[in-house]
Structure 1
Amino acid sequence: MSRAADPAPDTAPDTAPAGARRRPRVLVVQHQEDCPPALVGRWLEEAGVELDVRHPYRGDALPADLAAHDALLVLGGSMGADDDADHPWLTPTKQLVRTATRAETPVLGVCLGHQLVGRALGGRVDRNPRGQQVGLVETGWTAAAADDALVGAVAPGAQRGVHWNDDLVVELPPGAVVLAETPAGEAQVVRHAPGAWGVQLHPEVDAAVVRAWAVGDAERHAARGVDQAAVIAEVDAARAELDAAWRPLAQAFADVAAGELEAARQR
């Protein structure tokens, strides 16, 4: 899948002939090298989306607004949602979330991205008192998911997702709606505001991405007795299930980015 090492010019979104679907342009904020768009990025491109991937940890600039983009995708990372002092691009990322929400530009946050969306809109993020979540976790859809524009098509088939997180959105923003919960009752998928969603799980990862994360957590997992090889093998064995379950999320986000909310609801 294509990746631009340098930021793409902030030009106006593509236009298309009358009656044809316009190709939406999505700004992607990637926080570190081992947290790429991966499968979700590939699925979005296959759905006709143009990805403008920015790597602010390498020095890529973030735009001041989203006038040249149709949607915002904020990826995961090992830092915390309030670690702006050590990772200064988190401040403009959260501002972009607020700008997008005011402008009704669709937003999707993944893991840290979900936490940043929640934090930007008035929620609170903290460590999970139960400790780090690792591996496949059941997805507990709520009744509100059924007619949600983004996850309405996902909920019937997505029964598990990959988690790899220390933090949670422990207080949701005002007006937020929980669309899925973990078995422990933690917010797992949230509509933080109209048109702004977050998923605590990682629909984008495969075993190769998880294997890279495992290297960084090897010492503490050994201390906790986490069998990393078994976790990676379980994720790999579930590949067909996870692809079938979460690919519709990318298609729905492509539809939302293209302004096809009703198509996303009906898909």
Structure 2
Amino acid sequence: MKTALIIRHVPREGVAGYRAPIEAAGYQVDRIDVCDPDFSRADLVAPDLVIMMGGPMGVYEQAQHPWIACQMRRLARRLAADRPTLGVCFGAQMIAAALGSRVYPGGTREIGFHPVTVHDPDSPLRHVVDVPVLHWHGDTFDLPAGTQLLASSAAYPHQAFRRGRNLLALQFHGEMDEDPRFEQWLEQGPHDIAAAGHTPCTLRAAHETHGPRAVTAARAMIAEWLTGLA
């Protein structure tokens, strides 16, 4: 059976809704947390698929989080080998950095549900066209050389990119739209929520309204990407 390794940077940001299409594609899913004592020894090249999830830290905060540099070195080896890799939010920023691009704080907190502009209607992101998806970030990145920009938002031009068939990086969170851990996001980010002009109540209502459609579209996106892996 094919193997998939989920790298989780904080417990509240797991693979969530993306697990279903990954398992349906025939992968045996394992998970490791960056706080696990074995993480520094984990082989990130061997798994058939690696999925790196989100987190509140920044790629540039390596002094506070020494595991970031360790993960970046091993991620760079995986990307050099063109092994199938999916990055979500912080995971996407890690991919950008490992490919040599700058990751930095953006000008605003992008939090809430809204669609992205999809630039390639033939890409797997065609499934999320006109679908409000969850955004929750304040960092951004320069588009890495040799990659294709797939999506943008009004606040941030770099919402998704790919390299060939085996690399997909997503800034937005299509995976969280039916996950009860969304309540933990609301509890952990009151200042960010307020800075973005929202309240927990408005975000909770948006989650209930848009979540089912968003996660259905995002699962179809991931399923199509997995089908096309080299």
- Do the structures match in fold with TM over 0.5? yes
Residue 55 of structure 1 corresponds to: 33
CA deviation after TM superposition for structure 1 residue 70, in Å: 0.6
Residue 77 of structure 1 corresponds to: 55
**Cα separation, 2, equivalents of 1:223 and 1:121:** 31
Residue 100 of structure 2 aligns to a residue in which SS? coil
Residue 105 of structure 2 corresponds to: 127
**Residues 249, 95 of structure 1: CA spacing in aligned structure 2 closer, same or farther, 3 A cutoff?**
farther
Residue 187 of structure 1 aligns to a residue in which SS? coil
In the superposition, the TM-score normalised over structure 1's length comes to 0.77
Runs of 5+ consecutive residues of structure 1 not aligned to the other structure? 1-22, 147-151, 262-267
In the superposition, the TM-score normalised over structure 2's length comes to 0.89
Residue 92 of structure 1 corresponds to: 70
- 1:210 matched to 2:156? The reply is no
Q: How many residues of Structure 1 are paired with residues of Structure 2 in the alignment?
A: 227
- 1:236 matched to 2:214? The reply is no
Q: Which has the larger radius of gyration?
A: 1
Residue 111 of structure 1 corresponds to: 89
**Cα separation, 1, equivalents of 2:3 and 2:150:** 26
Residue 179 of structure 1 corresponds to: 150
RMSD: 2.1
Deviations 1:203-256 (A, max 9, x none): 110362322111112145346642221112112211221122111133134335
Deviations 1:76-103 (A, max 9, x none): 0000012222222212322232212221
- 1:140 matched to 2:112? The reply is no
Deviations 1:134-183 (A, max 9, x none): 1112110103x51xxxxx244144433110101011x1221221101112
Residue identity matched to 2:203: V
Residue 43 of structure 1 corresponds to: 21
Do 2:127 and 2:220's aligned partners in 1 also have CA atoms closer than 8 Å? no
**Cα separation, 2, equivalents of 1:79 and 1:88:** 12
Residue 162 of structure 1 corresponds to: 134
Do 1:107 and 1:197's aligned partners in 2 also have CA atoms closer than 8 Å? yes
Runs of 5+ consecutive residues of structure 2 not aligned to the other structure? none
Residue 248 of structure 1 corresponds to: 220
Percent identical residues: 24
